[in-house]
Amino acid sequence: MERLALLGATGSIGKSTLDVLSRHEDRFSLYGASAHSNVAKLVDIARRFNPEVVVISDESRYGELKDALRAAGLSTRAETGAAALEELAGAPEVDSVMQAVVGAAGLRPTFRAVESGKRLLLANKESVVCGAELLMRRVKECGATLLPVDSEHSAVFQCLQGVPASERARVKLWLTASGGPFRGRKDLSGITPAMAVAHPNWSMGRKISVDSASLMNKGLEVIEARHLFDVPPERIEVVVHPESVVHSMIELADGALLAQLGSADMREPIGYAMGYPDRLPAGIRPLRLAEIGRLTFEEPDRETFPLLDAAYKALAMGAGSTVVLNAANEIAVEAFLNERIGFTDIFSTVLERQRPRASTTSSRSIAKRARRRAKRSVSPNLPRHRNTTWVFFGPYWVLPSRSASSSSFTRRGISSPPRV
């Protein structure tokens, strides 16, 4: 029986993971689950799967969670805060960790899982975008296994399974993009959050849906692919594929293309990662190509959606620039979802932060300045917070998103940024 820790259990990836797990309870059990603030859903998960522990990141909801578990007559233990999330990721009872926490809050749990030698099913982009070199090195040093869960990277991983190691150095990657809800649109004025999160094919969380609409999501996936598969940026291409049937392709030295096709359903890559190297039935209706009729491909509109090229530029500038790219985007997307800025202001907020960064810069410099300046640009009247908890990540200090509250560190007497 494989014991699973599910970080980010109430989001879209978490829900799909639980669906797959429920179909294979003879093979998997849920040891622990986490959520940011959704007490009701976390209690429902505890009632259905009877995990040993549940973690609520928002410490203000901890008492409510304990009371709800007690009222439901459940023996599941409740924990709270960023440290508890890390402890769950590294628990000795856990075999595999599904890392589906959104944003920089997922960085430290990712490393805890890797350094504990876990089988890491990674759906958190920021772990790779912000600290790829350190992460991949620690995977090797600690004997961990990293399996990508993003549909595009899972597709590349699957296509590479039949390619000899000697041939992989010449492989070219083709990542597909649906184009999002605004494909073909030149005028992006007047776009509301409701419009941006209405993805035509995929059911996703709000933040990643906005990233998909801006093509930033694809840019972040280019950065991920460069590091996950050790392929230089010039051998990574993006093509728009509105049907979202071909999830990615690899091009071999002889010109042959290998593609992975499937439904627009995250249970497929989740099931593949959970069962690897076996394939698990995940409740997905098989593709019927005759029903689809045709598959179309087109070049991305890089002029209207400049953040795709911004990701390539960040890779060329150096590792510090990918940290800045991600930090500025998180701030801008949050401001857009809260209706403080317009959709195209996301572009300007991110692009204004782009310039070469030294990869050795440390101690609050890169991500801190990017977030502070991005906050001021989206809301000039925001106060400048000095007593903020930063996470040391490789050579960078990274500010976690609100789901990893600073109080979880200061309550434990850490007044300066923690070291790992």
Q: Looking at the predicted structure, is the pLDDT value of residue 200 above 90? A: no
> Would residue 51 count as lying in a domain?
yes
Q: Looking at the predicted structure, is the pLDDT value of residue 404 above 80? A: no
Confidence of residue 190 (pLDDT cuts 50, 70, 90): very high
- From 249, 271, 292, give the residue that closes a domain: 292
Confidence of residue 356 (pLDDT cuts 50, 70, 90): low
Token digits of residue 188: 């992006």
Confidence of residue 388 (pLDDT cuts 50, 70, 90): very low
Tell me how many degrees the CA angle 132-7-374 measures, rounded to the nearest 5. Answer: 55
134 and 103 in one domain? yes
Confidence of residue 377 (pLDDT cuts 50, 70, 90): low
Confidence of residue 116 (pLDDT cuts 50, 70, 90): very high
Phi, psi of 21 (to 5 degrees): -60, -40
The predicted-structure confidence for 241-290, as pLDDT tens digits, reads as follows 999 999 999 999 999 999 999 998 999 999 999 999 999 999 998 899 99
115 and 175 in one domain? no
The tally of domains found in the chain comes to 2
157 and 27 in one domain? no
Residue 132: what pLDDT?
A: 87
128 and 10 in one domain? yes
Between the ranges 75-89, 162-176, 345-359, where is the mean pLDDT highest? 75-89
74 and 35 in one domain? yes
- Cα pseudo-dihedral 134, 135, 139, 142, rounded to 10: 60
Confidence of residue 407 (pLDDT cuts 50, 70, 90): very low
- Cα pseudo-dihedral 81, 87, 89, 95, rounded to 10: -150
Q: Looking at the predicted structure, is the pLDDT value of residue 126 above 90? A: no
163 and 106 in one domain? no
Closest among 299, 281, 287, 225 to 260, alpha carbons compared:
287
**Cα separation, 322 vs 328, whole angstroms:** 10
> Would residue 100 count as lying in a domain?
yes
> Would residue 117 count as lying in a domain?
yes
Q: Looking at the predicted structure, is the pLDDT value of residue 399 above 50? A: no
Residue 398: what pLDDT?
A: 43
Q: Looking at the predicted structure, is the pLDDT value of residue 115 above 90? A: yes
Phi, psi of 293 (to 5 degrees): 90, -60
Confidence of residue 395 (pLDDT cuts 50, 70, 90): very low
The predicted-structure confidence for 201-233, as pLDDT tens digits, reads as follows 877 889 999 999 999 999 999 999 999 999 999
> Would residue 327 count as lying in a domain?
no
Residue 89: what pLDDT?
A: 98
Residue 106: what pLDDT?
A: 87
Q: Please count the CA atoms within 13 angstroms of the CA of 333 that sit on its side-chain side.
A: 25
CATH number of the domain encompassing residue 122: 3.40.50.720
134 and 235 in one domain? no
> Would residue 287 count as lying in a domain?
yes
**Residue 365 near residue 392, CB atoms below 8 Å:** no
pTM of the complete model: 0.84
Confidence of residue 354 (pLDDT cuts 50, 70, 90): confident
> Would residue 23 count as lying in a domain?
yes
- From 105, 131, 149, give the residue that closes a domain: 149
285 and 165 in one domain? yes
175 and 104 in one domain? no
Residue 353: what pLDDT?
A: 84
Confidence of residue 150 (pLDDT cuts 50, 70, 90): very high
Q: Looking at the predicted structure, is the pLDDT value of residue 78 above 50? A: yes
138 and 118 in one domain? yes
Region 120-135 average pLDDT: 90
258 and 132 in one domain? no
Radius of gyration for the alpha carbons in the chain, expressed in angstroms and rounded: 21
240 and 136 in one domain? no
- From 243, 277, 292, give the residue that closes a domain: 292
User: What range defines the domain where residue 247 resides?
Assistant: 153-179+228-292
Average pLDDT value for the chain: 86
Amino acid identity, residue 157? F
Region 332-346 average pLDDT: 95
Token digits of residue 44: 């429902």
- Across-strand partners of 6? 33, 98
> Would residue 196 count as lying in a domain?
no
> Would residue 136 count as lying in a domain?
yes
- Across-strand partners of 33? 6, 54
Phi, psi of 394 (to 5 degrees): 65, -130
Amino acid identity, residue 4? L
